[in-house]
Amino acid sequence: MRRDVVIVGGGVSGTFCAFEMHRAHPGVDIALFDSAADFGGRTASVDMGAARPLEGGASFVSSAHRLVLRLARELRLPMTEVRFRQVGLHLEADCAPPRGKQGLGDSALTGAALQHATLTKLAPQAVAAIAAADVAAAKRILRSAEMDGRALWRWPIGPLLERLWSPEQVRRARATHGCTSNFGAANAFDTLLTAAWEGAPGQSFYRFDDGAGNFGRTLAKASPGVLRFTHHRLIAIGRCADEFVLSFSTPAGLRHIKAGLVILALPRLALSRIAFGDDSVGAAFHHDLAQILDVPAFKLFLEFDRRWWDDLPFALGAGDLGAVFTQLAAQQNYFENAARRHWMLAVFADSENALYWRSLLEADGAASVTNGAPMGAAPAHLIAAAHRHLEIMYGRVPAPRCGVYADWSAGWHAWRAGARSWEVRERLVQPNSNLPLFICGELLAEHAGWMESALNNAEEMLERASAWLARPRARTFLPFINER
Which positions lie near ligand FAD, rule CB under 6 A? 8-14, 33-36, 41-43, 57-61, 233-234, 265-267, 270, 297, 299, 408, 411-412, 441-442, 449-452, 454
> 35 or 291: whose CB is closer to ligand FAD?
35
CB of 293 to ligand FAD, least distance (A): 14
> DSSP state, 10?
-
CB of 304 to ligand FAD, least distance (A): 22
CB of 366 to ligand FAD, least distance (A): 17
CB of 360 to ligand FAD, least distance (A): 17
> 58 or 386: whose CB is closer to ligand FAD?
58
CB of 4 to ligand FAD, least distance (A): 19
- Surface-to-core class of residue 67, CB atoms within 10 Å of its CB (0-12 exposed, 13-18 middle, 19+ buried): buried
At position 464, the amino acid (one-letter code) is R
Contact 61, 69 (CB under 8 A): yes
> DSSP state, 445?
-
> 59 or 176: whose CB is closer to ligand FAD?
59
| Residue 222 CA: distances (Å) to CA of 273, 348, 372 | 30, 32, 21
> 35 or 327: whose CB is closer to ligand FAD?
35
Inter-helix orientation angle 135-144/124-131, to 10° = 170
> 289 or 397: whose CB is closer to ligand FAD?
289
φ, ψ dihedrals at 405, nearest 5°: -115, 160
Nearest to 406 by CA among 443, 358, 356: 358
Say which residues have a Cβ less than 8 Å from residue 467's Cβ, sequence separation at least 6.
Answer: none
> 189 or 348: whose CB is closer to ligand FAD?
348
Contact 109, 176 (CB under 8 A): yes
> 207 or 342: whose CB is closer to ligand FAD?
207
CA dihedral 32, 464, 140, 192 (to 10 degrees): 0
Distance of CA 337 to the CA centre of its chain: 26
> 267 or 376: whose CB is closer to ligand FAD?
267
Distance of CA 308 to the CA centre of its chain: 31
Contact 104, 117 (CB under 8 A): yes
> 127 or 234: whose CB is closer to ligand FAD?
234
CB of 13 to ligand FAD, least distance (A): 3
CB of 408 to ligand FAD, least distance (A): 4
Compute the distance between CA of residue 40 and CA of residue 443 in angstroms, rounded to an integer. Answer: 16
> 166 or 247: whose CB is closer to ligand FAD?
247
> 261 or 266: whose CB is closer to ligand FAD?
266
β-pairing, 150-151 vs 146-147, is: antiparallel
Give the N- to C-terminal CA distance of the chain in Å, as an integer: 43
Three-state DSSP at 345 gives: strand
Three-state DSSP at 13 gives: helix
Compute the distance between CA of residue 21 and CA of residue 4 in angstroms, rounded to an integer. Answer: 11
CB of 349 to ligand FAD, least distance (A): 9
Contact 357, 405 (CB under 8 A): yes
Category of 210 on φ-ψ map: left (φ > 0), alpha (ψ -120 to 50) or beta: alpha
CB of 105 to ligand FAD, least distance (A): 29
CB of 288 to ligand FAD, least distance (A): 17
CB of 94 to ligand FAD, least distance (A): 28
CA R_g for the chain: 23
- Surface-to-core class of residue 94, CB atoms within 10 Å of its CB (0-12 exposed, 13-18 middle, 19+ buried): exposed
